[in-house]
Structure 1
Amino acid sequence: MSTARRIFAIGDIHGCNARLTMLLERLPLDLEQDALVFLGDYVNRGPDSRGVIETLLDLRSRCPRAVFLMGNHEEMLLEYAADGDIDRLRLLHEMGVEATLASYGAAMRDLQGLSFLPDSHREFLGSLRMSWASGPYLFVHADACPLAGDAGTARKGHSPAADQLLASRRLAGETPTGSDQLVIFGHTAFATPLVRPDRIGIDTGAVYGNMLTALELPAMRFHHA
């Protein structure tokens, strides 16, 4: 992927397709020249997970520099589909998977194997990256340091370490990232973006009635819907 003119990073969507559509309309985006980086957690809790994935698939077809990261909600879906572990099912309940199933007109029995998903949606989930780096920036869902050496790779099978990283909230604290790059992350919801010298958190809790946020780089400008 050649260097993009600008990068727009978008925080956790969680089924809020109306907000996502509104935000995309507000971005001064050049689909040919700019990169779009989505930080994961596209599904669960919100009303239209199916619509979110359809919007993202449409963007992928039109934006050659679109990047889609894995969130812990997608990881949990994939892991339960693979092993049917009852503990994962309990966690999926807590993560609001019923809202995702409802958006597809599906029931809990359809979860294993992800049989409720169209083929293109299953392929999309399986293609998600763990992290992505560009110049001075490192983009992750939840945590950075152990991913810094793996910033261009897609998810390759189950990794307990990956589970831990995707669910970590360490970046919301004071511990240094250990990365030479500015880390852009989601996962932990803030009322407004978290801005520190070494990291920026842009999950602003859209699914809880707050705004959906995008960060424009290198301008360091925030956009909201």
Structure 2
Amino acid sequence: MAPSHPTSPPSPPETGRLLAVGDIHGCLDHLKRLMERVRPRAADRVVFLGDYIDRGPDGRGVLDYLLAFRRRHPRSVFLKGNHEAMFLDFLGGVDQLPFLLNGGAATLESYREDRGIRIPKEHLDFLAGLALYYETERFVFVHAGLRPVLPLEEQSEQDLLWIRDEFIGSAYDWGKTVVFGHTPRTEPLWSATRIGLDTGAVYGRVLTCCDVERRRFWNSAAPPALRP
């Protein structure tokens, strides 16, 4: 089962970069290209904001990559997105249609083997262990956003994974910068209180990473093709 409402222990002082990565959606090529540019180091903490699967061609490959990444970078944080929630519901036989209507067929196809579709236990354990949010002294990382006025510990899982306009259109300040994905944009959203990092890789745009303390951005834009 997925964690209900985890509380994050106070984070130690960051000695490396504090990085966040937007919605991947099965776009393994974008993820590899982005990480080649960011070059995470041992002292860095990388927070992945969820939606690793669905719509894109290689959900399985993305999870394999993230599991290997976690072994190399054990300080990494992996958040739950609404698409992981729908996948878990599908696998549990609960309300299966939303998963299929929101790009889940591409994820299932990526797991197809000679004898049918098989989800490795390591992937199931990874999905079940995803956190709903991660908090540091200056930042809150969450997949979709926060409901205005409510403190972090009173936020519902539904809002943490699904909220859009009520969060983005609000001027409410939680006292920390909220770093989120979920709502695709043509470029990152950033202000004193918000950093939005879903830049629509699965829709033909790019995957984005941000050093949130220095406000430095990288993306997965392909290099220009060489002329023949």
State the TM-score bracket (shorter-chain normalisation): 0.7 to 0.9
Q: Give ranges in structure 1 of 5+ residues lacking alignment.
A: 111-115, 152-160
Q: Give ranges in structure 2 of 5+ residues lacking alignment.
A: 1-10, 221-228
What SS does structure 2 have at the residue aligned with 1:138? strand
Counterpart amino acid of residue 33 in structure 1: A
Q: Which of residues 47, 59, 84 in structure 2 aligns to 1:49?
A: 59
TM-score by length of structure 1 reads: 0.85
Name the residue aligned to 2:212: 217
Q: Which of residues 135, 138, 143 in structure 2 aligns to 1:136?
A: 138
Matched, 1:71 2:59: no
Offset of residue 126 of structure 1: 0.5
Name the residue aligned to 1:200: 195
Q: Which runs of 4+ in 1 moved over 6 A?
A: none
Question: Is the alpha carbon distance of 1:11 and 1:104 closer, same or farther for their aligned partners in structure 2, counting shifts above 3 Å?
Answer: same
Whole-Å separation in 2 of the counterparts to 1:177 and 1:166: 19
Whole-Å separation in 1 of the counterparts to 2:126 and 2:172: 29
Aligned-pair identity in percent equals 39
Q: For the Cα contact (< 8 Å) 2:143–2:161, is it kept in 1?
A: yes
Counterpart amino acid of residue 222 in structure 1: F
Name the residue aligned to 1:105: 112
Q: Which of residues 138, 149, 152 in structure 2 aligns to 1:148?
A: 152
Tell which structure's C-alpha radius of gyration is larger: 2
Name the residue aligned to 2:47: 37
Whole-Å separation in 1 of the counterparts to 2:52 and 2:97: 19
Q: Which moved more, 1:173-182 or 1:97-106?
A: 173-182
Whole-Å separation in 2 of the counterparts to 1:44 and 1:28: 26
Aligned length: 206
Counterpart amino acid of residue 124 in structure 2: R
Offset of residue 144 of structure 1: 2.3
What SS does structure 2 have at the residue aligned with 1:65? coil
Q: For the Cα contact (< 8 Å) 1:171–1:177, is it kept in 2?
A: no
Q: For the Cα contact (< 8 Å) 2:132–2:160, is it kept in 1?
A: no
What is the CA deviation profile of residues 123-179 of structure 1, one whole-angstrom value per residue up to 9, with x for unaligned ones? 00011000001120110000225572389xxxxxxxxx3134311113663213441
Question: Is the alpha carbon distance of 1:27 and 1:171 closer, same or farther for their aligned partners in structure 2, counting shifts above 3 Å?
Answer: farther
TM-score by length of structure 2 reads: 0.84
Q: Which of residues 170, 180, 183 in structure 2 aligns to 1:185?
A: 180
Q: For the Cα contact (< 8 Å) 2:142–2:160, is it kept in 1?
A: no
Whole-Å separation in 2 of the counterparts to 1:183 and 1:167: 15
Question: Is the alpha carbon distance of 1:165 and 1:184 closer, same or farther for their aligned partners in structure 2, counting shifts above 3 Å?
Answer: same
Name the residue aligned to 2:8: none
Whole-Å separation in 1 of the counterparts to 2:181 and 2:206: 13
What is the CA deviation profile of residues 5-43 of structure 1, one whole-angstrom value per residue up to 9, with x for unaligned ones? 21110000000001001100100421x200000000000
More helix by share: 1
